[in-house]
Structure 1
Amino acid sequence: MVRKRKSDQLFYKYFKEWIELYKVGAVRSVTLSKYNMSLQRVYELAPNLKVGEIDRRKYQQLLNDYALTHEKQTTMDFHHQLKGAILDAVDEGLIATNPTRKIIIKGKKPKEKRTKFLNQFEIQALLRQLDLSSEINWDWFILLVAKTGLRFSEALALTPNDFDFSKQKLSITKTWNYKGTTGNFQPTKNQSSKRTLQIDWQTAMQFSQLIKNLDPNKPIFVKNRVFNSTINYRLKVLCTNANIPIITIHSLRHTHASLLLFAGVSIASVATRLGHSSMTTTQETYLHIIQELENQDNDKIMKHLALLI
């Protein structure tokens, strides 16, 4: 009787209860917001869909409707969030068979992609444009992200205590919630994001002087509310002045990783430095670079083999 009543429950209500039960307090607030956005879309697209009615056709139609206004990758993310709740409903016996099997992910034509990373000559041209004054400013922030590959929120959360200048190391243990009206420290994206990075001696020396008189427990760069767009606008000005492609602050992270890969640094080391939870993420993100490096390796192999004859 209870199972029959639950199978007649509207799916968006079941999904809401599932989020509250399994996600609230278990995931970061930004991730929870994405689940709640997905919940809102389910309510808009299928307000009358009952849990027990979900089969492969109805689920595919829900994804198709969502894909009309979203790109393929966003539709995939939507699918993954719904799939967790649906598979639990299958385990509970509320849905007869898994309706998510062999699902086709669609999506509208993606927007023209921005430049994801700069090459070595372009990043050098960008860094030459920086106004590295004797006090902390956003140009110092840009330099540090370029040298470390930190996520935006990770770099904002840095305090003087995170630096170990004697060992030229930087500890990443937290992020800064810049999206809230009042900023505050938050946990890292995942456990793998907690890491210690080696920094070059020049950067270590520069920052040791910049932050020596600052509060050891307060963010170095945050004085007031911070907007991602503020730093991206500064980057736009710098890129324009340097006559290079205009990039975002996140593109500096891609640039850092790309240059390391081209320099011959292993995927495992790059993944660790970026704080990726697995090498698969790194491989998928930088697949085009890895393929290019493999082609270069094939040329080297052929030349080596030719010398053996």
Structure 2
Amino acid sequence: MNGSYRKRGDKWSYIVDLGPDPATGKRRQKEKGGFKTKKEAQAAAAELIVQLENNNYRKPVKQLLEKYLSDWLESKRISLKSNTYASYKHHIEYHIIPAMGKIDITKLTPAEIGKFYATLLNEKKLAEGTVRDVHKVFTAALNQAVKWGIIQRNPAALVEKPRAGRKELSVWTAEQAKEFLKIALTDRLYVAFLLALSTGMRQGEILGLRWKDVDLEAGTLHIVQTLSHDGKELSAGTKTKSGNRTVSIDADLVKILRKQKARILQERLKAQEGEYTDYDLVTPTSKGTPVTPRNLSRTFYRLLSQSEVPHITFHDLRHTHATLLLTQGIHPKVVAERLGHADMRVTLEIYSHVLPHMQKDAAEKVGKLLFS
């Protein structure tokens, strides 16, 4: 059993004989195109031929991509964290389905997917990182379609994912960080900003931090819970497995946290019955409930407008923390551990802008040892 191949334009297709129809005896053939090279078409045809020879071939049933993706997304609801599920849902409903939802999943080609990514980048002006996330979701969904026997081969796996552009980080100097903290000192959410700058914790980690996870005697924070992006759900675990970590804090931060704890206790005692819900949070609202990320950001930008420091995002406070540590000569492995990076190489890649300064500092120190 062999296949034949032909080129149309710059794409290749295969034709494989399926044998006679059991009911009519008529000859049946399957043709599929959209392959970049003849080698890709031959590989796909070989898979089909093996299935035919092993009697494992099933004629594809027409199913629109939008229907399949909706079903797949629902099947993932119980296995994905709420934040991840929300991200998948956004990419599928706002990007993939509007552009490709009416395509029969069995006829989806790598060329169509590649063109879709190009449109997102060049016409929709989405960031390269966002398109890479779309590609990740699309590939995962179609991998499952292969496992379920809906398609024979994942066309997204044959498309090169958009390259990762290197975004220049916006960070503060130590002086700028201190200037902002002076402005924020009297604000209720001061501790949240201080934690971001002094520990590098993510926004959801700060807003989900509980007193039971804080050891003021030892000067450590155990990061094991996060608040969702919409502020509606506290969940065990962090963004990644390595995100569950213990971070050391200095004596000054310990003092500030003790004052914060005392203030929260007073608020709880003064509240009327039924007015306070105790979530044991380090940075709660006046009613004990979680502060939503939206309100935290609103406060952050309001305080920024009152200061003269460069405007950056709340997440950039995490980058500022890492940059300050690296410029002080702290080993990248320690920085990676504080940030919750699984691999030190991730830390070095993100903060590569710091490396030239570190190289110069190292050269000067070696010079002093040898020539002074």
Paired AA for residue 34 in structure 1:
S
Deviations 1:102-151 (A, max 9, x none): 526389x99xx896210112112222333248xxx211221122111111
2:157 to 100, 104, 126: 100
Distance (whole Å) between structure 2 residues aligned to residue 102 and residue 295 of structure 1: 41
> Does the alignment pair 1:16 with 2:70?
yes
Pick the structure with more strand per residue.
2
Contact in 2 for aligned 1:45/1:65 (Cα 8 Å): no
SS in 1 for 2:348: helix
Match of 1:30 in 2: 83
TM-score by length of 2: 0.69
Contact in 2 for aligned 1:87/1:98 (Cα 8 Å): no
1:62 is displaced (CA, Å) by 2.2
> Does the alignment pair 1:159 with 2:206?
no
Distance (whole Å) between structure 1 residues aligned to residue 369 and residue 146 of structure 2: 56
TM-score by length of 1: 0.81
Contact in 2 for aligned 1:162/1:171 (Cα 8 Å): yes
How many aligned residue pairs are there?
Answer: 297
Contact in 2 for aligned 1:172/1:195 (Cα 8 Å): yes
Q: Which has the higher contact order (CA 8 A, sep 6+)?
A: 1
CA 1:93–1:161 in 2, change beyond 3 Å: closer, same or farther?
Answer: closer
1:33 is displaced (CA, Å) by 1.3
**What are structure 2's unaligned runs of at least 5 residues?**
1-55, 269-277
Distance (whole Å) between structure 2 residues aligned to residue 147 and residue 225 of structure 1: 21
SS in 1 for 2:157: coil
Distance (whole Å) between structure 2 residues aligned to residue 102 and residue 5 of structure 1: 22
1:225 is displaced (CA, Å) by 6.2
Deviations 1:26-65 (A, max 9, x none): 2211111121122223221112222222222122122223
Contact in 1 for aligned 2:146/2:152 (Cα 8 Å): yes
CA 1:99–1:237 in 2, change beyond 3 Å: closer, same or farther?
Answer: closer
1:275 is displaced (CA, Å) by 1.5
1:222 to 284, 288, 291: 284
> Does the alignment pair 1:265 with 2:330?
yes
Paired AA for residue 39 in structure 1:
I
1:241 is displaced (CA, Å) by 4.2
- What is the RMSD of the two structures over their aligned residues, measured on CA atoms? 3.3
1:232 to 293, 297, 301: 297
Deviations 1:272-309 (A, max 9, x none): 111223334323322222354345546766x58996xx
1:250 to 303, 310, 315: 315
CA 1:221–1:96 in 2, change beyond 3 Å: closer, same or farther?
Answer: closer
Q: If you compute each CA radius of gyration, which structure gives the higher value, 1 or 2?
A: 2
1:56 to 110, 118, 138: 110
Paired AA for residue 96 in structure 2:
V
**What are structure 1's unaligned runs of at least 5 residues?**
none
Distance (whole Å) between structure 1 residues aligned to residue 298 and residue 346 of structure 2: 28
> Does the alignment pair 1:83 with 2:134?
no
1:10 is displaced (CA, Å) by 2.1
